[in-house]
C-alpha cells in the first residue's frame, strides 16, 4: 500500500512522527477548484456503529467481497495467498468462518507474509454471470518472475465452497521493478469488462531502475502497464498464440490503434489502493496513495465526455500540486489532467484506503455516501458528491464506528461489500472483520421478522407499493371500500341504484360487474341497454343505476371493483331479487288478463263486462313514458298481430304474451 519510503517497518508511531510535516489538506473538483478540507466529527441524520463479525481464524485479511446474487456468503482474501469463506445465517445474521479455504495458492504467491508487505494475493473478482460462468479472477505477485504481477482465472469446483485449484489460467502478467506499489485491485464494470488497477512499479517518485525517464511509468503509455487502470474483455482471446495474454481488447478502449498499450483505460496513477464501482450508478472511484504530501480520491463518472483515457496526473502532480513537471508533463495538452475530487495531507494520515459508496438497505440515510480510511491514522471518513461534483457532508466517522468492548479497528487495509450492499472493514493486524451497521436502537418491524421494515422493503423481501415505508403485509395499500352496495327487491321495470364509498392511495378507478348466479363468473357492465339487465348508467363510477329492469335480471349479483396502481379491491356482492309487485299500470280501458284471448290489435271488445284491447293507448301510455322491456318502443308504426314477433326499426316487437305476463299478472285494471 505504501512506498518503501513510507514503510511502516519502524512502527506506526515512528511513521506518524515522520508524517508530522504539515501540508494543508485540500480538495479539488475535476475543474481544479481547490478549497480547504473541513472534517466534522459527528453524525448524519442516521448514526452508525460497527460490529465484529469475524474475530478469529483469519491471517492478515485485506479484502472482502461477494459472489453475484449470493447474500449467504462473503469471501475474504488473506494476503499470503488464501481466499476464505464466511457463511451468513439468514435468520440470526451470525457469521461462520469455514476452515477449508475456498482457494489456497500460497505456494505460488510471493510476499504477503507481514503486515507491511505490499505483495501477496491482492485482488478478487467474480465473473458477473457466476456461477453460470464458473470463473473468478485473482491478482497476485508471483513467485515466478520474482514478484511479477499475475492476473489469473480459476473456476469453482462441484462444491460451491471450494475452487478448482488446478484450473489456473494466467490471462495477464507484467514485471514489477520493486516490491511495493503493486495496486492489485480488479473488478468488473457495469460494461461487463474487467478493470485492473496497477501501481507505478514501486520505489519512490516513480523513478529508479525499471522506471521510464522522462515522465515515469505512470505517464508512459507505450508497452508499460504500470500506474494504470487497464480494461480487458474476458469473453474471448485476441492473442491465441500468447498463453499469458488471454483476453480481448475492447474496441472502445481509448488507445486502440494509437501505438500505446491498447489495454490502458486510464493512466497517471501512483498506487491505486482499493478502487470501486458504485453499484447503483456505475461510477468509478479510485483512491490513490500519495508520495510525501497528499493522499487523493479520483472520480470517473459512468458515462459522459472524456470518460475514457483520463490522465490522473502522477508523477506530474501529487494530488493538485505539481510534483515532477518534466518535459513529458510540459508537453501534455492544456487541460489534459483530471484532478482528484478530494485530497488530504499529513495532518490527517499518510496512506489512503479506498472504499465504497454505500448502497445498502440497513442505513438508508447514508445511501450515496462514500467511505474511505487511512492505514496510518486508523481513521474512517465519509463524504458525498453533489450534482455539480463538489464534495459535501464530510464527516470523521472514527469515533462513531469504534466497536468498544475492548475492541479496536486498526491497520485498515480494505473495505468490503456483500451482495446486499452492506459494508465491512478489514483489520489486518487483528485479523478481524467488522460490519458497519445502524447505531443500536429500536427498529420499526411491523411484520416481526427481526429485520427493520426499511431493510425488508429495500431488499425486496417486503413490498411497499405506495412507498409509505410500511410493508404492504402490515397495511394494505389497495383501495379501501368503506361502504358496500346493498341488495334490493324490485319488480321488473323498476330502477335500482347501488353505491360504494372508496378511498386510499393514488388515483382510484371503479368498474361495476355482474353475474347471473352466485357461482358464476363476473362480467363488466357498460353503460346502455344491456340484454338481461336493463338500462345501465354509472358503470365506471361509485354509483351504479339500472333502469327498467329486465325480468331476466331477477337473481343477478353486482359488485364494484376499485383499482389503484397497487391492485384492486372488490366490494361485497349485492343481489337483485324481485319481490311482491304492486300495481304498475293505470289503463282502465284495458281489461285484466283473465286468460281469455285478447281481441285483435286496435279492436276493442267487451270481456267479462270490461272493455279491453285498446293496445295503441296502452303502449302509448307505457312506452312513450319510458317503460322498456323486450317489446319495442311505440314508434307510431302498426304493431304486428297478437303473438307474432316482428322486427320494426331493428327492434323485435309483438311478443304480447310475454308483455302481458309481466304487466298483467299480479296487476289489476
- Cβ-based neighbours of 212, under 8 Å, separated by 6 or more: 219, 220, 224
For the sheet containing 534-537, what is the strand order?
496-499, 543-547, 534-537, 528-530
User: Do the Cβ atoms of 337 and 317 come closer than 8 Å?
Assistant: yes
What is the per-residue pLDDT for 660? 52
What is the per-residue pLDDT for 604? 55
What is the per-residue pLDDT for 307? 96
What is the per-residue pLDDT for 293? 97
- Sort 364 into a burial class: Cβ within 10 Å, 0-12 / 13-18 / 19+: middle
Q: Rounded CA gap, 152 and 169, in Å?
A: 5
What is the per-residue pLDDT for 551? 84
What is the per-residue pLDDT for 440? 78
Backbone angles phi and psi of 619, in degrees to 5: -70, -35
C-alpha cell at 465: 407499493
- Cβ-based neighbours of 232, under 8 Å, separated by 6 or more: 171, 172, 193, 194, 196, 247, 248, 249, 250, 263
User: How far is Cα of residue 583 from the mean position of the Cα atoms in its chain?
Assistant: 68
Residue spans of beta strands (DSSP E) within 135-181: 135-141, 149-156, 163-174
- Cβ-based neighbours of 369, under 8 Å, separated by 6 or more: 44, 357, 358, 382, 383, 384, 393
Point out the residues of the chain with pLDDT beneath 70.
1-45, 581-669
Q: Where along the chain do its domains lie?
A: 12-438, 443-474, 480-575, 582-669
User: Do the Cβ atoms of 606 and 591 come closer than 8 Å?
Assistant: no
Q: Rounded CA gap, 266 and 412, in Å?
A: 26
CATH 2.60.40.10 for domain 480-575, yes or no, is: yes
Q: Rounded CA gap, 484 and 465, in Å?
A: 25
Give the global pTM: 0.75
Q: Rounded CA gap, 448 and 367, in Å?
A: 25
- Sort 2 into a burial class: Cβ within 10 Å, 0-12 / 13-18 / 19+: buried
Of 495, 487, 494, 530, give the one whose Cα is nearest residue 663: 494
Of 466, 188, 219, give the one whose Cα is nearest residue 324: 219
Farthest CA pair distance, the chain: 134
C-alpha cell at 422: 452492506
Q: What is the 3-state secondary structure (H, E, C) of 454-486?
A: HHHHHHCCCCCCCCCCCCCCCCCCCCEEEECCC
Give pLDDT tens digits for 382-432.
Answer: 999 999 999 999 999 999 999 988 899 999 999 999 999 999 999 999 999
Write down the CATH number for the domain with range 12-438.
Answer: 2.120.10.30
DSSP 109: B
Q: Rounded CA gap, 299 and 340, in Å?
A: 7
User: Do the Cβ atoms of 323 and 316 come closer than 8 Å?
Assistant: yes
Amino acid at each position: 500500500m505504501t512506498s518503501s519510503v513510507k514503510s511502516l517497518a519502524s512502527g506506526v508511531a515512528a511513521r506518524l512522527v515522520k508524517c508530522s510535516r504539515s501540508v494543508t489538506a485540500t480538495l479539488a473538483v475535476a475543474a481544479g477548484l481547490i478549497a480547504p478540507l473541513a472534517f466534522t466529527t459527528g453524525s448524519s441524520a442516521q448514526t452508525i456503529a460497527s460490529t465484529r463479525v469475524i474475530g478469529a481464524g483469519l491471517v492478515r485479511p485485506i479484502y472482502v467481497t461477494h459472489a453475484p446474487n449470493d447474500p449467504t456468503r462473503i469471501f475474504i482474501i488473506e494476503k499470503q495467498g488464501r481466499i476464505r469463506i464466511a457463511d451468513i445465517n439468514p435468520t440470526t445474521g451470525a457469521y461462520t468462518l469455514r476452515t477449508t479455504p475456498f482457494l489456497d495458492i500460497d505456494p505460488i504467491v510471493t510476499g504477503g507474509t507481514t503486515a507491511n508487505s505490499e505483495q501477496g494475493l491482492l485482488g478478487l473478482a467474480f465473473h458477473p454471470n457466476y456461477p453460470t460462468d464458473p470463473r473468478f479472477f485473482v491478482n497476485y505477485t508471483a513467485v515466478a518472475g520474482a514478484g511479477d504481477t499475475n492476473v489469473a482465472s480459476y473456476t469453482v469446483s462441484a462444491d460451491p465452497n471450494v475452487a478448482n485449484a488446478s484450473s489456473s489460467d494466467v490471462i495477464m502478467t507484467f514485471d514489477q521493478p520493486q516490491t511495493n506499489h503493486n495496486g492489485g485491485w480488479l473488478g468488473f464494470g457495469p460494461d461487463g469488462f474487467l478493470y485492473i488497477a496497477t501501481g507505478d512499479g514501486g520505489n519512490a517518485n516513480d523513478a529508479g531502475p525499471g522506471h521510464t525517464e522522462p515522465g515515469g511509468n505512470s505517464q508512459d503509455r507505450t508497452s508499460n502497464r504500470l500506474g494504470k487502470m487497464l480494461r480487458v474483455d474476458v469473453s474471448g482471446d485476441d492473442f491465441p498464440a500468447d498463453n499469458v495474454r488471454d483476453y480481448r481488447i475492447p474496441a472502445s478502449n481509448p488507445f486502440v490503434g494509437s501505438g500505446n498499450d491498447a489495454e490502458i483505460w486510464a493512466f497517471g496513477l501512483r498506487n491505486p489502493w482499493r478502487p470501486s464501482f458504485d453499484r447503483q450508478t456505475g461510477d468509478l472511484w479510485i483512491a490513490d496513495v500519495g508520495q510525501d504530501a497528499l493522499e487523493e480520491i479520483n472520480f470517473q463518472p459512468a458515462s459522459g465526455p472524456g470518460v475514457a483515457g483520463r490522465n490522473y496526473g502522477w508523477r506530474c502532480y501529487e494530488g493538485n500540486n505539481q510534483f515532477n513537471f518534466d518535459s513529458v508533463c510540459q508537453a501534455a495538452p492544456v487541460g489534459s489532467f483530471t484532478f482528484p475530487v478530494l485530497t488530504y495531507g499529513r495532518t490527517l494520515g499518510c496512506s489512503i484506503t479506498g472504499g465504497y459508496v454505500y448502497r445498502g438497505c440497513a442505513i438508508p440515510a447514508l445511501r450515496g455516501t462514500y467511505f474511505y480510511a487511512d492505514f496510518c491514522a486508523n481513521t474512517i471518513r465519509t463524504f458525498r458528491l453533489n450534482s455539480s461534483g463538489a464534495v459535501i457532508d464530510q464527516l470523521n466517522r472514527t469515533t462513531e464506528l469504534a466497536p468498544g468492548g475492548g475492541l479496536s479497528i486498526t491497520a485498515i487495509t480494505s473495505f468490503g461489500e456483500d451482495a446486499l450492499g452492506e459494508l465491512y472493514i478489514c483489520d489486518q493486524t487483528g485479523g478481524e472483520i467488522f460490519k458497519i451497521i445502524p447505531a443500536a436502537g429500536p427498529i420499526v418491524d411491523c411484520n416481526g421478522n427481526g429485520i427493520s421494515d426499511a431493510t425488508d422493503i429495500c431488499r425486496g423481501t417486503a413490498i411497499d407499493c405506495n412507498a409509505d415505508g410500511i410493508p404492504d403485509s402490515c397495511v394494505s395499500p389497495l383501495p379501501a371500500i368503506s361502504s358496500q352496495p346493498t341488495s334490493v327487491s324490485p319488480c321488473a321495470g323498476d330502477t335500482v341504484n347501488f353505491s360504494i364509498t372508496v378511498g386510499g392511495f393514488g388515483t382510484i378507478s371503479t368498474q361495476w360487474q355482474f353475474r347471473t348466479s352466485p357461482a358464476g363468473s363476473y362480467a363488466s357492465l357498460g353503460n346502455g341497454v344491456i340484454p338481461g339487465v336493463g338500462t345501465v348508467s354509472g358503470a365506471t363510477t361509485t354509483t351504479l343505476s339500472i333502469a327498467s329492469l329486465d325480468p331476466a335480471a331477477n337473481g343477478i349479483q353486482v359488485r364494484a371493483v376499485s383499482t389503484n396502481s397497487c391492485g384492486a379491491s372488490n366490494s361485497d356482492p349485492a343481489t337483485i331479487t324481485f319481490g311482491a309487485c304492486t300495481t304498475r299500470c293505470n289503463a282502465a280501458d284495458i281489461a285484466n288478463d283473465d286468460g281469455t284471448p285478447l281481441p285483435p290489435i286496435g279492436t276493442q271488445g267487451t270481456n267479462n263486462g270490461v272493455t279491453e284491447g285498446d293496445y295503441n293507448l296502452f303502449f302509448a301510455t307505457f312506452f312513450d313514458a319510458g317503460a322498456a322491456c323486450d317489446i319495442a318502443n311505440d314508434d307510431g308504426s302498426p304493431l304486428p298481430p297478437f303473438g307474432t314477433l316482428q322486427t320494426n326499426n331493428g327492434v323485435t316487437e309483438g311478443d304480447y304474451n310475454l308483455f302481458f305476463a309481466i304487466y298483467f299478472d299480479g296487476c289489476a285494471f
